[in-house]
């Protein structure tokens, strides 16, 4: 076989480089993702074998008839043994086709059945209501004791060893929930509740991405998913259910006052304060998140300054307006947000 030359090798390497990491269709860190990947592998193998066989027949036929011309055709003698061989070959081929199709059907059936029963082991269930907004994710964690419910945004923590039920809603247009390392895709549809089940198999940090074009900033609508060990998850839950404390540091306190008295609080909620806006990400524990603006920027002081100074420069068209803070106000508000651990 001819060796792959570099110009062919490079794109191949680029494609395969996409097969590992925090957002990959080759991921097997969730039960559904592993099941779907296994089915995909079976389909590739079966269809690959048939493709190779058909190509082989095609080339064999071409090879045999090289230089064939109608006017030079000799009278062919009918050789009975060749007829028998051809008939046998035809039956073998039909058997192979039927067998191959049956293998695909049976494999699809069992994958489908397994996906339909996500919790045969009766594991504990975590329940999250996830609402898509242009262009961020609002999450409400629900508990049997509703007084423990809390809200967060753009980042989900879920525990290993449990089944997470996510109820998907949309506030505006159709979005799609897609965390390929963990599971398949499911749409978020206005006026309709969909659901998807996550059964993580490995702790780690994964990336989700809205997978249904939803307007200008669709590409900047990502979601951090952290699969925690049960102990880490319990710690995270305990921290999230705490309301925020009023800051004591003077600069952060000035930021708190600005936040509560000016526009910020009309859109954003900070639990335990007068800020109760419902149309923007909950900021109660914003400092504990890895990214801001739905995965657009890493959550650093620099990013917070950049975002609050000019949200439209970073994510043009998004629903947080330019607010014209002066330098002191900006320093103060960022200092306040950084206390929201």
* Chain contacts with Cu ion (rule: CB under 5 A): 175, 210, 214, 218, 221
**Helix, strand, coil percentages, rounded to 5, for the chain:** 45, 20, 35
Binding partner of 210, given Cu ion, ligand HEC, none, CB within 5-8 angstroms per partner class: Cu ion
Q: How far is the CB of 295 from Cu ion (least distance, A)?
A: 12
In this complex, which beta carbon is closest to ligand HEC, that of residue 188 or of residue 199?
Answer: 188
CB atoms < 10 A from the CB of 133, how many? 22
Least CB distance to ligand HEC at residue 159 (A):
22
List the one residue from 20, 263, 278, 312 that touches ligand HEC (CB under 6 A): 263
H or E segment to which residue 125 belongs? strand 125-133
Q: In the bound complex, what is the minimum distance in angstroms from residue 273's beta carbon to ligand HEC? A: 13
Residue 308 found at the interface with ligand HEC (CB under 6 A): yes
Q: How far is the CB of 22 from Cu ion (least distance, A)?
A: 19
H or E element in which residue 188 lies: strand 185-188
Contacted by 150, from ligand HEC, Cu ion, none: CB < 5 to 8 Å by type = none
Q: Which does 335 bind (CB under 5 to 8 A by kind): Cu ion, ligand HEC, none?
A: none
Report if residue 130 touches ligand HEC, rule: CB under 6 A: no
Pairwise CA distance, residues 240 & 305, whole Å: 24
Is 292 near ligand HEC (CB under 6 A)?
Answer: yes
Q: Which does 47 bind (CB under 5 to 8 A by kind): ligand HEC, Cu ion, none?
A: none
Comparison of 157 and 315: residue with beta carbon closer to ligand HEC: 315
Q: Which is nearer to ligand HEC, 164 or 318 (CB)?
A: 318
Only one of the segments 5-13, 229-237, 240-248, 275-283 lies at the binding site for ligand HEC (rule: CB under 6 A); that segment is 275-283
Distance CA 14, CA 25 (A): 15
323 lies in the site for ligand HEC, by CB under 6 A: yes
Among 139, 143, 117, residue whose Cα is nearest residue 129 = 139
First to last CA, the chain: 59
Convert residues 180-219 into a mask of x (bound to ligand HEC by CB under 6 A) and - (unbound): -------------------------------------x--
What tokens were used for 61?
């036929």
Does position 154 interact with ligand HEC (CB under 6 A)? The reply is: yes
Of 298, 300, 303, 263, residue with least CA distance to 280: 263
Q: Is 135 in the site for ligand HEC (CB under 6 A)?
A: yes
Tell me which residues in 8-27 interact with ligand HEC (CB under 6 A): none
Q: Would you tell me how many other CB atoms lie within 10 Å of the CB of residue 208?
A: 27
Q: What CA–CA distances, in Å, run from 220 to 24, 195, 245, 272?
A: 17, 23, 31, 30
What DSSP line would sit under 259-271, residue for residue?
HHHSTHHHH-B-T
In sequence order, what are the residues at sequence separation of 6 or more whose Cβ sits closer than 8 angstroms to the Cβ of residue 190?
170, 171, 172, 173, 174
| CA pair distance 222, 225, nearest whole angstrom | 10
Query: In whole angstroms, how close is the CB of 302 to ligand HEC at the nearest point?
Result: 13
Binding test (CB under 6 A) with ligand HEC, winner from 333, 338, 339, 340? 333
Sign of CA dihedral 66, 67, 70, 73: negative
> Which chain residues interact with ligand HEC by CB under 6 A?
135-136, 153-154, 217, 259, 263-264, 266-268, 280-281, 283, 286, 289, 292-294, 304, 307-308, 315, 318-321, 323, 325, 333, 337
């Amino acid at each position: 076989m001819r060796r792959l030359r570099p110009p062919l090798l490079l794109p191949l390497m680029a494609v395969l480089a996409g097969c590992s990491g925090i957002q990959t269709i080759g991921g097997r860190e969730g039960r559904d993702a592993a099941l779907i990947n296994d089915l995909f592998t079976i389909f590739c193998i079966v269809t690959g074998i048939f493709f190779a066989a058909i190509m082989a027949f095609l080339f064999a036929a071409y090879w045999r008839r090289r230089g064939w011309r109608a006017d030079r055709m000799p009278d062919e003698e009918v050789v009975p043994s060749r007829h028998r061989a051809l008939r046998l070959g035809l039956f073998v081929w039909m058997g192979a086709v039927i067998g191959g199709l049956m293998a695909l059907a049976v494999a699809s059936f069992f994958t489908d059945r397994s996906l339909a029963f996500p919790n045969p082991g009766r594991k504990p269930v975590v329940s999250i209501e996830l609402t898509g907004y242009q262009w961020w994710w609002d999450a409400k964690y629900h508990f049997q004791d509703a007084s423990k419910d809390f809200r967060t945004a753009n980042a989900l923590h879920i525990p290993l060893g449990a089944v997470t039920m996510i109820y998907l809603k949309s506030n505006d247009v159709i979005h799609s929930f897609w965390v390929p390392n963990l599971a398949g895709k499911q749409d978020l549809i206005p006026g309709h509740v969909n659901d998807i089940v996550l059964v993580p198999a490995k702790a780690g940090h994964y990336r989700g991405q809205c997978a249904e074009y939803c307007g200008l900033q669709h590409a900047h609508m990502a979601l951090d998913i952290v699969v925690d060990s049960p102990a880490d998850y319990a710690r995270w839950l305990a921290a999230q259910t705490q309301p925020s404390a009023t800051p004591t540091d003077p600069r952060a306190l000035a930021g708190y006052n600005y936040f509560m008295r000016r526009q910020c609080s009309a859109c954003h909620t900070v639990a335990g304060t007068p800020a109760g806006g419902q149309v923007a990400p909950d900021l109660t524990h914003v400092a504990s998140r890895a990214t801001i603006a739905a995965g657009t920027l890493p959550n650093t002081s620099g990013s917070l300054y950049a975002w609050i100074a000019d949200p439209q420069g970073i994510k043009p068209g998004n629903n947080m307006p330019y607010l014209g803070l002066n330098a002191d106000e900006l320093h103060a508000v960022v200092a306040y947000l950084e206390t929201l651990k």
